[in-house]
Structure 1
């Protein structure tokens, strides 16, 4: 056996792993077979493989798709990255013929001259809608938006194409798109790259619930169809959407106004004309909704159905009252909104100091309002949901704690809870949607500022988030599956928990963490990211970490530091860490703990950097928490030269600016290698100038 003593490391020595065209290997591969796990191989002449890799390359032929969504044969280059060592306690010796590969080989791959025994399945795309469920479509053309992540991103896109599908059960309309779009959210100030389609709903049945589906075509792997490969509808995880098609606007919309100063519950008017309803407002919301229900019945034949109606609140403070008894919402939400969106800050809906249980309909949308807490243990919004059947949407709202005490059930059993472009008021965040019980409340946050809650399932484009915890199933809340966290800023100066904490099994649907900034400052000393680490024994698959900046504290990644061995792997590319740690068999003193060796051998990793190495070493080897070897393009001990480091490594005051400045040593991105062409601040990729990490700002 060759001893691992005094082995030198050359950074960035490995050739690129991705190519859409056949490349000639530097010399013929000397791998006779790929093992069942897809990352270990048997070498015919192990003496030619030094302890930390060679320039030996395999050309792997694998299925994928082109930008039209058509099947395509992809030829990727995979390096023979290292001889494999033996497990603890023989970690100082190498195996006779086994080598590690720089990336995975899958069951459907073909390697000329080698036997492929891999049983590993291609990783699935991970996605989330930027549309909320139960949208009321009143135009012929409607925009659908889907954020996507995938392990085999390239050409500045996570996947090759997405096909959007809308169906009324008989007819369907489709559009396949390959160019990405961006959406900017004023509340957070952040941008979300995504795929979008403009579908024409006029060819589908009018006044019908339309199902929206999508097929995602990855550059490498198999197509992913939401209706068959994601969750059954309804779900807080990725599933199909149901949109109400009313492109002729013949379903009927009743308008009703509420004015606490001039309104009269006895003489208020509901009308199909907003201008007419505005002349005769009601004094209270429950009376207005009661009249709206009666109007929907007599005018449109929709008895006991307040769905599709719009309640407009005049500027002032309105006390929330029970409105569920006044009628349900059969197909689309009842909408309660500010009469003038410009008065969002002064059009207030408040709890009034008394709890209201089961007081809102199954589908409710609040828009352009300030939602203000009065204090105490008061239940504000509650539809009595016991599952994901119910839906609450808040759009362009301000959440204001009014400087009162925290109460986790202020927003209670509402089922799915989607927040879009919402912010936090001057009185603080009421922290709606907190995990204090087993009740049915499941948050999705899109473009919000500081108000995602602690039972958030998915978040994109959100700023000033304090923390996130990926939880197992609990009571009426299903397991968090295929979680998507993208282009957010997390900042915390006082937490005793990891800012991002994952301690649950991650199956084939995976976990996407892309384009985020995680900042630890002040008194916070726990991990910035804990991903199934610290004695965690959860099986972990299809984790995609791309283009993140994690500063101030460590990232603890996929440990096997206990007495149980499970499989753990991840695709980690273009990230900047302060420090990262990967503990395994040597740390645990357990020779069986080899299930996370794909992480320690950096299989599927490339182009990452850390400012300070790991917590125990800035070099590589069996005992180093940096792992066994550097991945392609990996750098350690660099100065990123940020515009303003306010994390623990800088001033410690928080709210830093993690844009690299001139002279930064961060690795650069090319258009061919990057996963996205825009970052969370809307900066476009400049090939050969933009840097790894969350901020692509050209320097």
Structure 2
């Protein structure tokens, strides 16, 4: 008995072997893919590796085990009996088909096969067997999205951050490296990042690829809009850039940063002298001010604006905007952008404490005003101790500000009855705001803005904000939401990039949601256009009580994406926790169920899904007639489905009696669908590893995978997951559970690699770790506890994990230039305080603990210019340690922890 030929088929996941011998059955194969694999395919692929602080050309050599024998499509006479796919070729020669653990790509080279004795009954050890590569599957490219809001202003060095995922991480590095660029069209600055780092720009400690760009001195970047790009170098495959043309064009840069596509430049305003964008301030005084605009209302500094006499201050924002127009500030041409007269770019309109009704009514902004580069900011008074509570702006008379972009920062917005702006204001940014319905309008669906973005652009981005108690939601954006990061929301939210957010439960919100729950892709084809890349990572989606936690809405059309069906492509769903309370028939999320789709190049990794299952990578379109019943099918390929901890994960393929198909064929037991093999890769465990399905919400035989993947398991019956405090509908059904696995959990020992080196709570990921969003601290991890403190955590809770760098007590400098001085990952709460926040800050509800930045005890400023001092955030959905931490500035050259 000997192997005479071997080939990878066109689908990229079937290994076809021709050998001498007799037909067998499933019992003839002993493959042991998760232990000592007995059939291994070796292949090579060009890619990159990290060396000398950069990514250089390299080769990834993969050793891909065979996971499971392939079976034949269902026999309609016996739909639950699986028959192995072996063929008698005659003359004592047979052909078998085996499912590989991963896809092989058309550009893989040097394929060879090694087998151990007994891999099939009677077979002997053999190696160096040549394998023909018939795969037609293209190698994946990295998935990425910018993780910061564009069109901010910098006077010096600035940060660029990109969230990246890949199908072939090495250890816990997604890619070999990212090269960042910033250019003014003539001069260029670059920075490499070859490992994950922490971006705490919004107080959420996001792990991503992040670098500091120094604009330089000798050949400094010119003031004006800067175009920033990234080149991402995977371990396997080709570099992918945010600049698809490769020219770094400065044309149209004033709108380019609002682009929907992942391959979009990041745009920032450079103002080293503070004279281009940073010299216009207005102080709105609704009590003493006037609606007669005057250029004298505008100060070149905040102090000057506030020093304007009360009766001469603007009474409302429209008056302030008109006053800035009258200032006649000219914006010189720069960096490819045209000159502009009567510019209000970068104007900061700041509201005094109190309630302001509308942007204005009596005042009218006249034509001629320009805002071509940097948004106008509507802000709360920064001198107020808590502007997000004390400075309130309500909708009133709907106005036309005659600008297209605005930033709303450090205040409360109350909506209902009408909108703030009715036309032109198409691009908006919420930063550190609270949005809610006005009293009596908590369920109204009035949108804050009515203008639509240009086709191909997003309409809004949201950072470190709370959106609740209003019927309007982020699924209703006029042209969609770009970045949603570090925020909390209580209505369905749709965005292209959803990072580090928290779902506010209905009970905490206090009003019926009415518009669904959870997060989603953009809902309509008019919103989404040709967008495919979609990132959902590190979100706390506990206490979902109705609907789905993650909804995959209308995708780009097949004609746009160049796929057989409408396309779900390059989605990254990583390190999220989903918790269902209140039993319902809905799944937490699904891909391909009930719809015709091409589902490809996804990374679904490290998620915890408690209380309900999800239906992933289905081929389950609904036919309308007998012809459709035999021709409709989904595609599902090149999907990394790894390290998830789930209650149940169904896989509908051809092996059950589908009622829609049966009805289309005339009724009876005619629901079999043998054409569904185009989504069989995930069904056979291809691309799966470390995936644990506890089967707690059903074990229907027809909805189960043929193989659960390397180091994966699909339990035969309901199995206790071993979470610290399960409050899902399968547990106490009270919500806000602690999904940290306990010792001996079924999730232990599953993870060997991944796209993040931290779990949801900031604990280190490690080889041999736990499936799901949470990694328990190991004995080698260090927990920091004040020397005189009582226990830092409740009995049975995890100790506080620390990640970051701490300078020596006697060090002259806390850190190297450009390196973060003090890094923290975890939750901070006063150990014995009655309240965890200042007056008016969000209370501790359902386990939420604000994450605070730590400032030197005697410092005048808590941070460098432009940084934020105290940021309300959320706790990890697990055991939260309470620490009293004070960073004391004993000496300008020293820091210490007390």
TM-score class, shorter: 0.7 to 0.9
Q: Which residue of 1 aligns with 2:83?
A: 93
Following TM superposition, by how much is the alpha carbon of 1:686 offset from its aligned partner in structure 2, in angstroms?
Answer: 4.6
Q: 1:681, CA displacement in angstroms?
A: 2.0
* 1:249 CA displacement: 2.3
Return the match for 1:254 from 277, 280, 291. 280
Residue of structure 2 equivalent to 1:4: none
For 1:636-655, what aligned pairs fall within 5 Å after superposition? 636-637=714-715, 638-655=719-736
CA distance in 1 between partners of 2:764 and 2:730 (Å): 28
Query: What displacement does 1:361 show?
Result: 1.9
2:433 is the alignment partner of 1:397? yes
2:377 match: 335
Give the counterpart of 2:134 among 110, 114, 117.
117
Corresponding residue number in structure 1 for 2:815: none
Distance (Å, rounded) in 2 between the aligned partners of 1:451 and 1:74: 44
Corresponding residue pairs, total: 650
CA distance in 2 between partners of 1:144 and 1:445 (Å): 17
Partner of residue 301, structure 2: 273
C-alpha distance in 2 between matches for 1:127 and 1:232: 17
Flag the structure with larger Rg. 2
Number of the residue aligned with 1:61: 44
- Alpha carbons of structure 1 residues 363 and 30: separation in structure 2 relative to 1, 3 Å: farther
Match of 2:259 among 213, 235, 243: 235
Instruction: Quote the Cα distance in structure 2 between the aligned partners of 1:526 and 1:204.
Output: 56
Match of 1:309 in 2: 347
1:285-364 aligned within 5 A:
285-297=317-329, 302-321=340-359, 325=366, 327-340=369-382, 342-356=385-399, 358-359=400-401, 361-364=403-406
Query: What is the CA deviation profile of residues 84-120 of structure 1, one whole-angstrom value per residue up to 9, with x for unaligned ones?
Result: 1111227632222221111110111121311111111
Q: Which residue of 2 aligns with 1:13?
A: none
Give me the whole-angstrom Cα distance separating, in 2, the residues matched to 1:381 and 1:394.
15
CA 1:288/1:498 → structure 2, altered by over 3 Å: closer, same or farther? closer
> What residue ranges of structure 2 are gaps of 5+ in the alignment?
33-37, 87-95, 113-129, 247-254, 333-338, 454-458, 505-516, 557-565, 622-628, 659-671, 779-898
Paired with 2:756 and 2:97, the residues of 1 have a C-alpha distance of 35
- Name whichever of 150-159 and 299-308 sits farther off: 299-308
Please report the TM-score for the alignment, with normalisation by the length of structure 2. Answer: 0.68
Distance 1:109 1:30, change over 3 A: farther
Q: Report the TM-score, using the length of structure 1 for normalisation.
A: 0.86
8 Å CA contact 2:532–2:568 kept in 1: the answer is: no
How many Å apart are 1:146 and its aligned residue? 0.7
Q: SS of the counterpart of 1:568?
A: strand
Could you tell me how far apart the structure 2 residues matched to 1:83 and 1:494 are?
40
- Map of 1:368 onto structure 2: 410
The offset of 1:606, in angstroms, is 0.3
Aligned twin of 1:20: none
Contact 2:370 2:403 (C-alpha < 8 Å) held by counterparts:
yes
> In 1, Cα distance between the equivalents of 2:209 and 2:533?
18
Aligned partners of 1:316 and 1:346 also within 8 Å: no
- Alignment match of 1:548 (pick from 593, 607, 627): 607
| Structure 1 residue 649, shift from structure 2 partner | 0.8
Q: Does 1:42 align with 2:16?
A: yes
Q: Give 1:343 deviation, angstroms.
A: 2.0
Identify the residue that residue 283 of structure 1 maps to in structure 2: 315
> What are the Cα deviations for residues 513-551 of structure 1, in whole angstroms up to 9, with x where unaligned?
111111111254411011121x22111111110110111
Alignment of 1:675 onto 2:732: no
Q: Secondary structure at the match of 1:163?
A: strand
- In the TM superposition, what is the alpha-carbon distance from 1:310 to its structure 2 partner? 1.2
User: Is 2:771 the partner of 1:692?
Assistant: yes
Contact 1:369 / 1:397 at 8 angstroms: preserved in 2? Answer: yes
> Are residue 539 (structure 1) and residue 525 (structure 2) matched?
no
Q: Is residue 678–residue 684 contact of structure 1 (8 Å, CA) maintained in 2? A: yes
CA contact (8 A) 1:394 1:419 kept: yes
Could you tell me how far apart the structure 2 residues matched to 1:333 and 1:580 are?
45
Query: What pairs with 1:168-567 in structure 2 (closer than 5 Å)?
Result: 168-184=184-200, 190-202=204-216, 203-228=219-244, 234-238=258-262, 239-252=264-277, 253-266=279-292, 269-280=297-308, 281-297=313-329, 302-321=340-359, 325=366, 327-340=369-382, 342-356=385-399, 358-359=400-401, 361-373=403-415, 375-376=416-417, 378-384=418-424, 390-403=426-439, 404=441, 405-413=443-451, 415=453, 416-424=459-467, 428-435=469-476, 439-450=478-489, 453-464=492-503, 466-471=517-522, 474-475=525-526, 477-497=528-548, 499-502=550-553, 504=555, 507=567, 509-533=569-593, 535-562=594-621, 563=629, 564-567=632-635
Q: Give 1:172 shift.
A: 1.4
**Is the Cα contact below 8 Å between 2:199 and 2:210 reproduced in 1?**
no
Q: Equivalences for 1:600-611 in 2 at 5 Å?
A: 600-611=683-694
Question: How many Å separate the matches in 2 of 1:122 and 1:229?
Answer: 20
Does the 8 Å contact 1:503/1:531 carry over to 2?
no
Deviation at 1:583, TM superposition (A): 0.5
Which residue of structure 2 aligns with residue 135 of structure 1?
Answer: 152
8 Å CA contact 2:546–2:582 kept in 1: the answer is no
**Contact in 1 for aligned 2:378/2:409 (Cα 8 Å):** yes
- The equivalent residue for 2:562 is none
Between the aligned partners of 1:127 and 1:251, the Cα distance in structure 2 is: 32
2: distance between equivalents of 1:275 and 1:126?
45
Q: Which has the higher contact order (CA 8 A, sep 6+)?
A: 1
In the alignment, what sits opposite 2:644? 575
CA distance in 2, matches of 1:434, 1:603: 33
- RMSD over equivalenced CA pairs, Å: 2.9
